[in-house]
Structure 1
Amino acid sequence: MKGWSAGAPAVVLLAAAPLFLAPYATTTLTRMLVFALLVASLDLLVGFAGLPSLGHAAYFGVGAYAAAWFTKNVTTTGPVPLVALAAGAVAAAATGWVAVRTHGVFFLMLTLAIGEIVAQAAETWESVTGGSNGLYGVPATRIGGAPLDVAGVYWYVLAAFLLGFVALWLVSRSPFGAALRGIRDNEPRMRALGYATRWYKYAAFVIAGGMAGMAGGLLAAQQRLVTPADLGFTTAALALLAVIIGGAGSLWGPCLGAALVIVVRDVVGPDIDGHGPLLLGLVFILVVYLLPRGAAGIRVGVRR
């Protein structure tokens, strides 16, 4: 109940934001929500299962391309986020069985390789993805027959983000989530207790991939363009950076980290001659030394 009571005011503020913000600021906030859902899905792997991934953007991109293609060729009013979720989950299921057989640095490097393979496929499969030009001209999302404006897209993304975040929160608070934390802390002991740890990690990988795909579907609805850069190493690295800055294992903390990354990249970066990555690097160093548990660790310290 404490978590819900603390989150309710934030939801109210987010819902009312377009009423007070300019269109550009509303669009920036929309991008924050899209990236936050991607980062929260990655936190399920990093913070709960102990599986740091550098290829998670691959499923984000698969969901974005699937949603863009579905919107262009099927309908603009259907359950596009669900199509993107299914595409991300299928891609994660196809690649995760190999990935979860490894540990530590080997898992990190294998996911990086998977991400690069998917990004290269997006570059070369021009008939479907548009190649390096991307899949552009995605029709505007429609509800009730009318295309959504900037505020409408924001509320659409916000609703999908809340559904995705609540789903991840329920998974993390379930017995399944408790088992993932046990595997993260001591996998040999969990195996000795009779848990099929590899299957648990595989299930977490698929769930996280599905939620990343859903975030990609929201990206396609927001920017109406999908490019290979959206599923490349840079996106994956920024997502992992946001998890670390926000605090792995809290879900809401990485969402704050995602907001900070978008602000530095899209708002502050252009004003400092494109040195946003340098600023993010400095923030990362400060967090590692001053806040080992990330932004979420501040709240834990206050409680103690």
Structure 2
Amino acid sequence: MIMSRLARAGRGGPLLLALGLFAALVLPWMIYPPVALDIACWALFAAAVDLLLGFTGLLSFGHAAFWGGSAYCTGLIALHTGLPFPVAIVGGAAFAALLALPIGFLSVRLSGIYFAMVTLAFAQMTYFVANQWRDVTGGENGLQGIPRELFGLDLSDSFSFYYAGLPFVLVGLFVAWRIVRSPFGRVLVSIRANPDRARALGYPVDRYRLLAFVLSAALSGMAGGVFAMGHGFASLEGVYWTTSGQAVMMVILGGIGTLWGGAIGAALVVQLQDFLATAGFAETGIITGSIFIVVVLLFRRGIWGTARHLLASRRKAAAPGEVAAEPRKSVDTPA
């Protein structure tokens, strides 16, 4: 019954949204709250990357600049202004969007590996600036002791802050969902499928790609801001290129172009890393990399993409029986 309802719900039906909301609300009751917050933040980050990769066809290895850059900006606002933490998170997301404008303007004219390498280069430039500008970013020490001010409320407990930061993640996921279901999102899919045909139809491809890039960066920045607030620090690791690579891995694990698959990939990777770190296993990359290879080989569409494909196949297989039953009912029923 649940399987068939999920199949009818499609990519983003109300039932799927309700199940996702329920899972987000009960998550800190089931696992360690800081890990739950990490899953939520990485889920939004993966959705932002999938917005660009799965729906626009652009693979970016530079999104660490927006995740980490927003974390630094959020921390600086909270440390030096004393404003409530929601203002700091929104400021960090705005900074990420502004940072994405020149990077995207210079990058979206490229595609494929060239786009990936250019965004990677910009991310490494951001990393170099964060490392050298020690008076502002703290250099290798980063920003520490970021406060969680909200009109005198005590949010020092990680369990309490999870529910304070969760609305930002949910709003970001909802924005991503609305984007892919809007006419703008359908244009992005057509650009991904055939940019030349989209140009022939009169769509300014580069402009659409730039807007998608900026929106993706803003959502990544919102995720990075919540992450920095949740942990109370911003570090160089956030702007390093491996952060982008991890988000891309989550998207591929869950399923490219599914949007929700990134949340599944985030839960899998974060939970596995936490389990291995708790067990004292230092080389977590060996295990996560091995699982990544197995999933890619066995589930070509990713975990959620494969599940959705199987549900759709089952629905198609059941459809002829339902159609065949209709005439029989009309014959047995008197006119």
> TM over 0.5, yes or no?
yes
- Counterpart residue identity of residue 172, structure 1: V
| 3-state SS of paired residue (1:254) | helix
Partners of 1:272 and 1:264 in 2: how far apart? Answer: 12
- Report Cα offsets for 1:7-45 as digits up to 9, x if no partner: 213312321343x346xx111011111111111101111
**Structure 1 stretches lacking a partner, 5+ long:** none
Structure 1 residue 150, shift from structure 2 partner: 1.4
Which residue does 1:145 correspond to in 2? 152
User: For residues 62-141 of structure 1, what are the structure 2 equivalents within 5 Å?
Assistant: 62-77=69-84, 78-139=86-147, 141=148
- Report Cα offsets for 1:124-173 as digits up to 9, x if no partner: 0111101111011211x133312312122101221111000000100111
Query: Against the structure 1 CA distance between its residues 271 and 180, is the aligned structure 2 distance closer, same or farther, given a 3 Å change threshold?
Result: same
Moved more, 269-278 or 159-168: 269-278
Partners of 2:19 and 2:115 in 1: how far apart? Answer: 39
Q: Does 1:276 align with 2:284?
A: yes
Structure 1 residue 233, shift from structure 2 partner: 1.3
Which residue does 2:317 correspond to in 1? none
TM-score by length of 1: 0.95
- Counterpart residue identity of residue 296, structure 2: V
Query: Against the structure 1 CA distance between its residues 224 and 52, is the aligned structure 2 distance closer, same or farther, given a 3 Å change threshold?
Result: same
**Equivalences, count:** 300
| 3-state SS of paired residue (1:43) | helix
TM-score by length of 2: 0.86
- Counterpart residue identity of residue 267, structure 1: F
Structure 1 residue 270, shift from structure 2 partner: 4.5
Which residue does 1:285 correspond to in 2? 293
Q: Does 1:155 align with 2:163?
A: yes
| 3-state SS of paired residue (1:143) | coil
- Report Cα offsets for 1:93-151 as digits up to 9, x if no partner: 12110110111110011111011110111000111101111011211x13331231212
Q: Does 1:303 align with 2:312?
A: yes
Partners of 2:91 and 2:24 in 1: how far apart? Answer: 25
Q: Percent identity?
A: 35
Partners of 1:188 and 1:82 in 2: how far apart? Answer: 36
Which residue does 2:41 correspond to in 1? 34
- Counterpart residue identity of residue 64, structure 1: A
Q: Does 1:192 align with 2:200?
A: yes
User: For residues 181-260 of structure 1, what are the structure 2 equivalents within 5 Å?
Assistant: 181-260=189-268
Partners of 2:162 and 2:249 in 1: how far apart? Answer: 25
Partners of 2:27 and 2:294 in 1: how far apart? Answer: 30
Structure 1 residue 269, shift from structure 2 partner: 4.2
Q: Which has the larger radius of gyration?
A: 2
The answer (yes or no) to whether the contact 1:33–1:157 under 8 Å persists in 2 is no
Structure 1 residue 303, shift from structure 2 partner: 2.0
- Counterpart residue identity of residue 58, structure 1: A
Aligned-residue RMSD, C-alpha: 1.5
**Structure 2 stretches lacking a partner, 5+ long:** 1-7, 314-335
Which residue does 1:167 correspond to in 2? 175
Partners of 1:279 and 1:222 in 2: how far apart? Answer: 26
Which residue does 1:43 correspond to in 2? 50
Partners of 1:96 and 1:83 in 2: how far apart? Answer: 20
| 3-state SS of paired residue (2:256) | coil
